[in-house]
């Protein structure tokens, strides 16, 4: 048994530290911009998310927006897949030019309604951060399988540190302060 095989668990522990650091960087300060400085795609998606509804009215003649709270009920799987009437379908909510996938939007909207959180932008950013962390985890497993844990740790570290490039691309203020504080 050589030195590298004897301490291979150390790379897994170091990877967990990288994953914790990546989570910290991605999940703190998700309200950057304080309602301002949104990227146009994020602004559009927040508008679409605000119009979607994961509930339906027990009385089909009443739109879900005008439905009394005691008559609101969660959509069933059949209601979701009925693309002509689903209130989780952006095309039925006035967004006929929607070109993004529906699954992430549906997951975020259901989570927002289940948690009674009205700020879909923030919960959307949190889900985006969790998806990014999952990507780093999968990257580590794939690279460890193809090469070794040392290379996987390096790859996951590079992926974890790309956050600043992503935030700069989205127009986030640098240095942890807003433009008004500069």
pLDDT in tens, 37-71: 577 888 888 888 888 989 888 888 888 889 898 99
Comparing CA positions, the residue from 121, 119, 122, 123 lying closest to residue 111 is 123
pLDDT grade for 176, boundaries at 50, 70 and 90: very low
pLDDT at 37: 59
pLDDT at 120: 85
Give the global pTM: 0.74
The alpha helices in the chain, defined as continuous H runs, are 3-6, 8-27, 40-51, 77-81, 102-114, 120-146, 149-160, 163-170
pLDDT for residue 100 is more than 90: no
Distances (CA, A) of 28 to 22, 139, 175, 176: 10, 22, 14, 11
pLDDT grade for 167, boundaries at 50, 70 and 90: low
């Amino acid at each position: 048994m050589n030195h590298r095989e004897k301490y291979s668990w150390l790379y897994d522990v170091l990877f967990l530290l990288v994953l914790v650091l990546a989570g910290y960087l991605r999940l703190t300060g998700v309200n950057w911009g304080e309602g301002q400085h949104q990227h146009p795609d994020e602004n559009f998606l927040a508008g679409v998310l605000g119009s979607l509804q994961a509930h339906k009215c027990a009385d089909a003649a009443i739109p879900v927006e005008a439905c009394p709270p005691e008559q609101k009920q969660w959509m069933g799987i059949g209601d979701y897949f009925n693309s002509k009437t689903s209130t989780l379908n952006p095309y039925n909510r006035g967004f006929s030019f929607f070109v993004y996938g529906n699954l992430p939007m549906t997951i975020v909207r259901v989570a927002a309604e289940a948690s009674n959180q009205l700020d879909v932008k923030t919960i959307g950013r949190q889900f985006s951060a969790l998806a990014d962390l999952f990507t780093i985890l999968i990257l580590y497993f794939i690279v460890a399988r193809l090469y070794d844990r040392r290379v996987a740790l390096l790859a996951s570290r590079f992926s974890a540190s790309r956050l600043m490039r992503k935030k700069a691309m989205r127009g986030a203020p640098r240095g942890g302060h807003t433009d008004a504080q500069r």
